[in-house]
Amino acid sequence: MRSVPTTSLDLTAAEFVADPYPFFAEERARHEVAWHEASGMYLTFSHATVSTVQRTRTLGRLWKDKEPTDYLEPFNLLHRNQMMENEPPEHTRLRRPVASAFARGHVERLRPRVRELAHQLLDEVAGQDFDLIEAYAEPLPVLVIAELLGVPASYAHSLRDWSQAIVRMYEPAPSQPVVDAAVAAATDFAGLVRELLTERRARPADDLMSDLAVTELSEDEQVAAVVLLLNAGHEASVNVFGNGAVGMLRRGLRPGADVALTVEEMLRFDSALQLFERTATEPVTVGDVLVEPGQKIAALLGAANRDPAVFDRPDELDVDRDPNPHLAFGVGVHFCLGAPLARMELVESVGALFDRYPGLTLAGEPESRGTFVLRGFRRVPVTAQGG
């Protein structure tokens, strides 16, 4: 019987978190899939195996409440009832009304508003050095997703704080302060959403929350859907923007003539979401490894997006790269529902920034968030020239 490849990769090591890509390359050269004892799951390192994990229906998202369950119920409630943590037919039931609401034209009607917000934010920092994350990358998508759903802009800072507290729970071995902050954020976040849903049932508006408030979903499911949309609707955009901007500025690059191609390369080059976990419901072969029912396997998206078997010069940031079959938004039933919104926001905001400040440069070393699963920067100081 063939032995299973293993890896001792430390997903929490500072050197790895700072730059996981050389480690991925070393692992990929040895094996496409390997058992990782520390996390109790298989890790996948190639584009082919990550794609298999994402596409295989017998590798599912199977939510298990975090323990202690009583204390963590506010956090568990938001995840137990959301589409991303369920498989068909439950996933289909939870996703359909949200997808239907998105399909009503809400996203495209926001394009002029995204442009307006981008220019307003850039006006506020005209002639100044500023933090690209705090002043631009962060507020824009938070305000956009809040407007799409119908959350008052006055809650923008709270939404960002709550989201960051919740998503830190996705990192390996969260500390007790991280757990406590996530429970508090989940409690406050759900409380606000319940109030807003009650208002929308009484007084509907032209927003996505009004659409969701009258669906067949239970109130807990509606709350979970809104929180998921608010979190996913800006977390990826903030981090893709920050990671991609830092990648370009460090290399003296600017967006290409087709900004949409540059955005796709930003998504590929330094993936905002690095790890997405699945559980086998039946025996399934991934690469050369047989994954047994109940065993977990993780798609390492950043590793897939640097695979030299698929991407020429994978460690170079090519603003005109085409084709670009990255896996940043996933594939299959869990393909990111908000991908069209994220792409639109990024094209508009990246284009506006470099049109206004073609001489933009780093004014200091960017400060990492220090997280792996959701990779991004806390602070990116820049010097704005022009504008």
Which of 25, 48, 184, 336 is the catalytic position? 336
Give the number of C-alpha atoms closer than 13 A to the C-alpha of residue 380, restricted to the C-beta side.
25
Please, are residues 296 and 61 in contact by the beta-carbon 8 Å criterion? no
Establish whether 235 is a catalytic residue: yes
Find all residues with CB under 8 Å of 135, minimum gap 6, and list them.
121, 124, 125
Q: How far apart are CA 371 and CA 246, in angstroms?
A: 16
Distance of CA 101 to the CA centre of its chain: 21
Q: How far apart are CA 364 and CA 382, in angstroms?
A: 7
Find all residues with CB under 8 Å of 345, minimum gap 6, and list them.
114, 140, 141, 144, 237
Which of 32, 171, 345, 348 is the catalytic position? 345
Q: Choose among 122, 138, 189: nearest CA to 355.
A: 122
Establish whether 237 is a catalytic residue: yes
Find all residues with CB under 8 Å of 205, minimum gap 6, and list them.
150
Residue 103: exposed, middle, or buried by beta-carbon count in 10 A (0-12, 13-18, 19+)? exposed
Which of 87, 138, 235, 264 is the catalytic position? 235
Establish whether 352 is a catalytic residue: no
Q: How far apart are CA 134 and CA 114, in angstroms?
A: 17
Establish whether 368 is a catalytic residue: no
Which of 237, 271, 349, 368 is the catalytic position? 237
Q: How far apart are CA 20 and CA 23, in angstroms?
A: 5
Reported in sequence order, the residue ranges of 15-77 that DSSP labels E, i.e. its strands, are 33-36, 41-44, 59-60
* Residue 213 Cα distances to 36, 92, 152, 216, 234, angstroms: 42, 18, 16, 9, 21
* Residue 306 Cα distances to 236, 297, 312, angstroms: 19, 19, 9
Establish whether 163 is a catalytic residue: no
Please, are residues 243 and 124 in contact by the beta-carbon 8 Å criterion? no
Q: Coil, helix or strand for 290?
A: strand
Q: How far apart are CA 347 and CA 140, in angstroms?
A: 13
Which of 232, 236, 245, 299 is the catalytic position? 232
Instruction: State the catalytic residues.
Output: 232, 235, 237, 336, 345
